Chains A and B, each alone.
Chain A
């Protein structure tokens, strides 16, 4: 068995929260054992005056003398006294007291750890907010600086974005500070410029979140609202999501995390806007279903037909329903209907890279989706999913690269819960840019490493997740693979044909000629 130092596994069935729960249970158990031991110790303490021993003592003395064997009587007497002494010595009352003390210490440490953890989290959050609040006061200067940097880049050809990319790779915590303090950043912006404050406050009212924002999720909702007011980030009407089955084929079912990640690479490099539904036959005649969602494919601020875009990224992070999520549900139900499987009893696993991971987590956290489908597992690669409230009945595995800024965009660590395992892989000096560490192909390589660790059994939380995911990843028998294209219906679609040019009138033509003459004279 070997341990890969570049892989850090937290949470899951053997995570810290479970350890704390177990320590609490252990303390309670020790408290129960104490009284049992005390009862036995009480018996041992009085053994020296036990009626059988006292009777033996008296009988031995009398019979020894009467029968003419005083030496034998004396030896028996010694034996009785020795037994009484032994019983007194091994009373073990001190041992019972030690058990009780250990139990109290254990319970105390668990409580102390929980309090200390909470205090530390609040201290970090305050520090982030203070940093970003201070930063927002100099936002105009930063904008000037950015403009200056753009001019320098234009003149010198210096790759400043590339520089930032490299810096984020080396200092990934910068993303935490920036994102974790986004609510502080917005508060600071409002204080720096009251007009901006009014705009942000109005956006908060429209988004239905408090102002000033209380956390990074509130801040994201406000920024999304501002983006929409500026004509961007406007998702379509989720119920009008369109789906079209592109292909249905038979292929070997996935046998591990690497197969899931490889499919994410294929979806990312494919024609776009497609999700993959994999029907894995089970030995009892039922089916398990894997839903694979791609990452962001369009980065423009304006929403288009393809729902796997920046708009879905932002809207999904606010927790709102998205066209992509509704379309994915319809894709799954279409594939199920084609296979003659109806009802919500078949187990479902949701898998996604980047935005696909956000959508997978949002579906697993959506009670309406869970009412229709039995979600058992979620696998995310490089996705910010910490804020989604996924129930404990769903086993989650989040795979993240330490240098990848994207999983950090929610400004929070994934929960350390019995059902939620996070595997962080440090890419070391294998790459040099943060964006490269987000590539799905790099995640496919890391997934192979995790498969190896699962096979070795060296990471108990990973092993537990693998067991929970076994109906989906047995790799036996052919699976039915259905690719479904999703399409967004835009709320304000562009006109089908460009408007016809308005013909110039005679007066316009004259005015134009006059201008042209004046221009020539001036030149």
Chain B
């Protein structure tokens, strides 16, 4: 498989991972919505919020890695020219 295409596929897979992490983050956020009242719920809403912040950070990190892989694919294109062996 041409290197640039393989890298594009990797970038797409990383985007999918970032989307999945965001989805987990949304799920965690939904549990925060579930926790309606009570002292314990307030404490756990705080815990859930912290988890969500960190998951969002993780998703952003994975998205940045996907961007770098795309940059790498472009660099490979320019290095290899038409020759994509």
Contacts and interface: CB of A to CB of B under 8 A. Distances in A.
A86 B24 contact: no
A23 B40 contact: yes
Contact of B62 (A20, A44, A59): A44
Given A56-B76, A79-B72, A86-B64, A106 B44 contact: yes
B56 to A, nearest CB: 11
Contact of B61 (A55, A59, A90, A106): A90
Interface string A1-37: 0000000000000101011101101100110110011
A299 interface: no
Given A19-B35, A37-B21, A67-B79, A102 B69 contact: no
Contacts of A63: 79-80
Nearest to A50: B10
Contacts of B69: 52-53, 83
A102 B34 contact: no
Contact of A82 (B47, B58, B68): B68
Contacts of B75: 72, 75-76, 79
A22 B20 CA distance: 24
A157 interface: no
B47 A105 contact: yes
Interface residues of A, number: 53
A22 B34 CA distance: 6
A89 B65 CA distance: 11
B3 A59 contact: yes
Interface string B24-51: 1001101110111110110010011001
Given A82-B68, A102-B51, A18 B17 contact: no
B34 A25 contact: yes
A36 B80 CA distance: 38
Contact of A30 (B14, B31, B76): B31
A51 interface: yes
Contacts of A99: 24, 28, 51
A47 interface: yes
Given A22-B35, A98-B54, A109-B40, A56 B7 contact: yes
| Majority secondary structure of chain A interface residues (helix, strand, loop or mixed) | helix
B48 to A, nearest CB: 7
B45 to A, nearest CB: 10
A95 interface: yes
Contact of A29 (B13, B27, B54): B27
A67 B78 CA distance: 12
Interface in A466-483: none
A272 interface: no
Given A36-B24, A37-B24, A76 B36 contact: no
Nearest to A56: B3
Contacts of B71: 79
Q: Which of B10, B23, B80 has the most CB of A within 10 A?
A: B10
A395 B69 CA distance: 57
A92 B9 contact: no
Nearest to A14: B36
A235 to B, nearest CB: 42
A69 interface: yes
Given A67-B79, A76-B72, A40 B44 contact: no
Contact of A53 (B10, B28, B34, B58): B10
A53 B6 CA distance: 9
A335 to B, nearest CB: 40
Interface in A202-222: none
Contact of B58 (A32, A47, A95): A95
A60 B17 contact: no
A57 to B, nearest CB: 10
A99 B44 CA distance: 12
Contact of A51 (B6, B17, B47): B6
A109 B44 contact: yes
A322 B76 CA distance: 89
Given A47-B65, A90-B65, A76 B47 contact: no
Nearest to A99: B51
A95 B55 contact: yes
Interface of B: 3, 6-7, 9-10, 13-14, 17, 20-21, 23-24, 27-28, 30-32, 34-38, 40-41, 44, 47-48, 51, 54-55, 58, 61-62, 64-65, 68-69, 71-72, 75-76, 78-80, 85
Ranked 7 nearest A-B pairs via Cβ: A52-B6, A26-B31, A90-B61, A22-B34, A26-B34, A92-B58, A52-B10
Given A14-B36, A79-B72, 4 more contacts: A19-B41, A26-B48, A59-B80, A86-B68
